Structure 1
């Protein structure tokens, strides 16, 4: 794996990691856009397995607010991530994109205007006809204003619903669990990315639209939803699939929202077949 910092048109910096860079002559690379509350490092295993299956490069990058990438700008919107994805695609000469969760929302909106040839998403957190709700953000902001980051994080985890059984714990128990894990790597990362993550959730909701504009997506679009993932992912994906006649829709059996991070062979094979055309 290689690492480099690239510049964006607005003067920002993105930390870029390329797996299988020596395979660049074998075809377009695949750019991976990661979710909220994580970093590019959480997708190393996935990138390695997909690159090996494709025999092509796979590029991951830290979105703003992570690693050596620039902080989110004060006027942050979803368009910031779309322009950053464009910069990574140009720098790596890549035309294929994969997005997971929030990264899937970025990829879906971006592919309506960027030169994406093949697009695949897993549990994209895109809001279609108000499919994504975030009523919990007011309670989150009250907790942060009171200096109670453990409770704020608990409110966020429950609201996003992506943590499986852990996210369904009573709020008091989840708050205690956050307090007990504050010193662990995942606890530290969650606290570092909380504010960034909430801004991203708000950006998704601000970009809500009906399904029809997604007709501009590439004909080659693969939509994958985890069988055990929260229902709201399937609501939006079903509406997009209904209007996009050339899309493929599949459910990954036995897996939830973390299916990409686990990188099961079934998912890698499906993505490899798709990106191989």
Structure 2
């Protein structure tokens, strides 16, 4: 884990859920509470810089989702409902009403906000909302077979080719494998490979919720939709087009120089500044 989670004051706090699981979270900062929901292949530590950038104005709670120690495993009955129940439990425990989600974490945030008066404001960065099958799931059978065969790196290649930017999907698998091994830091790669089984279960939920976005008319919270101008993925473009048509209160913000990992790697401070402004405006009164 990175430094933020190694500080004595940031040892994990934990709550028990109704199904007997333990859900951990880490807290930093002072001010109104924000719950940050990590995406697939990510954990709480992934959002260290983002949390630090908000800590002067907000109390930031970094959720450690199921499947990421010290939280409990996903379990055989894992579903989006499980994720939403975990989010709600932490919101209640921390008296928090502001939520940030990234990618799959953004999908969780939107689902958790449906018919939920406890959530007053949601900021999502490229939420993993699949519309018209835009997030491909064709990779899943081969991915699962490779995991069972003890070839996690090859499974990761399959996933990256299928879900990454449009421009990279025509790369030969051997070249993608070389690039992933060369450009992803060793500790980050180790975390990603460890979370591949969880990633599969999470994307099964993405597939199940394909074209479910019209239910987001049930969200009364104000929603900030964020995306990176350099992401270059059809599913992101489609989500940014369709989501504002169903959300009662929404705004959209583009980061021209950032990609899908802007919130956690490429520009967390820039994203945090926009999120901070949006949440501060909410506290002054939403129009």
Does the 8 Å contact 1:154/1:174 carry over to 2?
yes
C-alpha offsets along residues 35-57 of structure 1, whole Å, 9 cap, x if unaligned?
010110011110110122xx120
- Take 1:194 and 1:51, find their aligned partners in 2: how far apart are those partners? 31
Normalised by the length of structure 1, the TM-score is 0.89
Q: CA deviation at 1:183?
A: 9.7
Residue from 268, 273, 277 that aligns with 1:273: 277
Pick closer, same or farther for the CA change 1:264–1:37 going to 2, 3 Å: closer
Q: Which residue of 1 aligns with 2:27?
A: 18
Does the 8 Å contact 1:150/1:176 carry over to 2?
no
Residue from 3, 14, 17 that aligns with 1:5: 14
- Take 2:181 and 2:257, find their aligned partners in 1: how far apart are those partners? 31
1:234 equivalent to 2:237? Answer yes
Q: Which residue of 1 aligns with 2:135?
A: 132
Q: Which residue of 2 aligns with 1:68?
A: 70
Pick closer, same or farther for the CA change 1:223–1:178 going to 2, 3 Å: closer
Q: Which residue of 1 aligns with 2:59?
A: 57
Does the 8 Å contact 1:129/1:211 carry over to 2?
no
Would you say how many aligned residue pairs link Structure 1 and Structure 2? 269
C-alpha offsets along residues 30-76 of structure 1, whole Å, 9 cap, x if unaligned?
10000010110011110110122xx1201102101112000001011
Q: RMSD in angstroms over aligned alpha carbons?
A: 2.3
Does the 8 Å contact 1:6/1:15 carry over to 2?
yes
Greater alpha carbon shift after TM alignment, 134-143 vs 90-99: 134-143
C-alpha offsets along residues 62-92 of structure 1, whole Å, 9 cap, x if unaligned?
1011120000010111111111100110111
Pick closer, same or farther for the CA change 1:70–1:210 going to 2, 3 Å: closer
Uncovered stretches (5+) of structure 1, i.e. residues with no partner: none
Pick closer, same or farther for the CA change 1:177–1:227 going to 2, 3 Å: closer
- Take 1:198 and 1:168, find their aligned partners in 2: how far apart are those partners? 22
- Take 2:227 and 2:180, find their aligned partners in 1: how far apart are those partners? 28
- Take 1:276 and 1:199, find their aligned partners in 2: how far apart are those partners? 35
Q: CA deviation at 1:154?
A: 0.7
Pick closer, same or farther for the CA change 1:181–1:45 going to 2, 3 Å: closer
